[in-house]
Amino acid sequence: MIDKEKIVLLSNHDLTDRWNVKKQTISNWQKRYEDKFPQPDFLVSNKTVRLYLETTIEEFEQTEFFKKLIEKNRTFGKSPTEE
């Protein structure tokens, strides 16, 4: 039996907070990297809201692809004096 108290679901909004990126960035990544970005574990609200198990996101965060994606996002748009 699944322990429902231990299940954590994350929305795109939660991911923006978790990764410190904009909502549009998450949306872009989902479209641009459809083959590498995790598929949602659940679709709700007439399939317009993506929900991910926290474990799905934790696994994704361990990939080299994710690490490079976050690093690229953090350095994008910085002036040469900030680097």
Q: 42: domain CATH number?
A: 1.10.1660
Q: Is residue 47 part of a domain?
A: yes
Q: Is residue 81 part of a domain?
A: no
Whose tokens are 């994350």? That residue is 10
Q: Is residue 27 part of a domain?
A: yes
Number of domains making up the chain: 1
Q: Is residue 65 part of a domain?
A: yes
* Assessment of whether the complete model's pTM goes beyond 0.95: no
Helix (H, G, I), strand (E, B) or coil at 81: coil
Sequence-distant (6+) residues with CB within 8 A of 69 are 29, 33
38 close to 60: Cβ distance less than 8 angstroms:
yes
Q: Is residue 67 part of a domain?
A: yes
Phi–psi pair at 5, nearest 5 degrees: -70, -20
What domain range includes position 52?
A: 4-75
Where the chain has pLDDT below 70, the residues are 1-2, 77-83
